Amino acid sequence: MEKLIITTAICGAEVTKEMNPAVPYTIEEIIKEAKSAYDAGAAVIHLHVRWDDGTPTQDKGRFKEAIDAIRKACPDVIILPSTGGAVGMTAEERLQPVDLKPEIATLDCGTCNFGGDLIFVNTETMNHTFAQKMKTLGVKPELECFEKGMIDNALRLYKKGLIDGPLHFNIVLGVNGAMTATTRDLVYMVESLPKDATWCATGIGRGAFDLAANAIVMGGHVRVGFEDNLYLEKGVLARSNGALVEKVVKLANILKRDIATPEEARRILSLRKRECE
């Protein structure tokens, strides 16, 4: 079994300091949280950015500022920018960080409800546009899938030659409006993937660590972080993203799975390190 790649989604676009005071907004706070995750064992930092007041943005300049700062603190870490942005952003806004030519970036593979009146829109046309731009710029897509139909959408992109293999999926379960974060649903999703694909599991909220344990045993990889879950356990806020990573490392130690370094993660994910432009 390959070593375990831990990804940390350090801030997201929707969580706030009112929910957990440690949620980072400023560049300095983002560096602190990225470093805490990296030092604890994360090989990948999944990056959203905010303005200093906490407003989410996909501004290319803000992404470059954050990426350059993280690189100084964690020179070998893999930085995985979001093209999901925040609900309501246009496709053009969301695609901005891809222009920086990161090693890898997210590609959300379908539309789903996000709770209440929120709809996370990712049309077929948007999928084609995002995939084509990533391919043109040499950016590997992390294929984010919230339910089974999104895996099918991703495979159609692959068959059309819009994305290249080997494919890497992020199976996101537990969103209020998509599939639940259960062992049954994770197994169903994983069994729907190509045999040569790599995959990561992201559990939202209370499902975070149960899903992490399942992924560790099943040979997948794990994402945790404030974007997905603010708590170490019921009623106990995590003091940092690093604390969430530490809990995954403890699980991996119990379950006899070694942790991948960033360079080992690059090999597993078929990435080639390069500086963002």
pLDDT single digits (tens) 83-92: 999 999 999 9
pLDDT, average across residues 249-273: 96
pLDDT single digits (tens) 172-224: 999 999 999 999 999 999 999 999 999 999 999 999 999 999 999 999 999 99
**Range of weakest confidence among 47-61, 90-104, 111-125, 224-238:** 111-125
Tell me if 1 is assigned to some domain. no
pLDDT at 115: 84
Tell me if 49 is assigned to some domain. yes
pLDDT at 146: 97
Tell me how far apart the alpha carbons of residues 56 and 270 are, in angstroms, rounded to a whole number.
Answer: 30
**Residues facing 141 on adjacent strands:** 105
Quote the tokens at residue 236: 């106990």
Phi, psi of 93, deg, nearest 5: -60, -50
Residue 141 has pLDDT above 60, yes or no: yes
| Structural domain range at position 103 | 6-269
Q: What is the pTM of this model?
A: 0.97
Tell me if 277 is assigned to some domain. no
Tell me if 274 is assigned to some domain. no
Which CATH number belongs to the domain containing residue 76 in this structure? 3.20.20.70
Q: Which pLDDT band holds residue 122 (cuts at 50, 70, 90)? A: very high
Smallest CA-to-CA distance from 201 within 266, 129, 125, 144 is with 144
Residue 5 has pLDDT above 70, yes or no: yes
Residue 123 has pLDDT above 80, yes or no: yes
pLDDT at 272: 77
Phi, psi of 272, deg, nearest 5: -125, 120
Long-range Cβ pairs for the range 23-26 (8 Å, 24+)? 23/54, 23/226, 23/230, 24/50, 24/226, 25/50, 25/51, 25/52, 25/53, 25/54, 26/50, 26/52
**Domains in the chain, number:** 1
Query: Residues 190, 219: contact at Cβ < 8 Å?
Result: no
CA distances from 251 to 77, 174, 196, 215 (A): 22, 20, 25, 11
Tell me if 275 is assigned to some domain. no
Percentage with pLDDT > 90 across the chain: 96
pLDDT, average across residues 56-84: 98
Q: Spell out the residues 6+ positions from residue 17 whose beta carbon is closer than 8 angstroms to its own.
A: 23, 25, 54
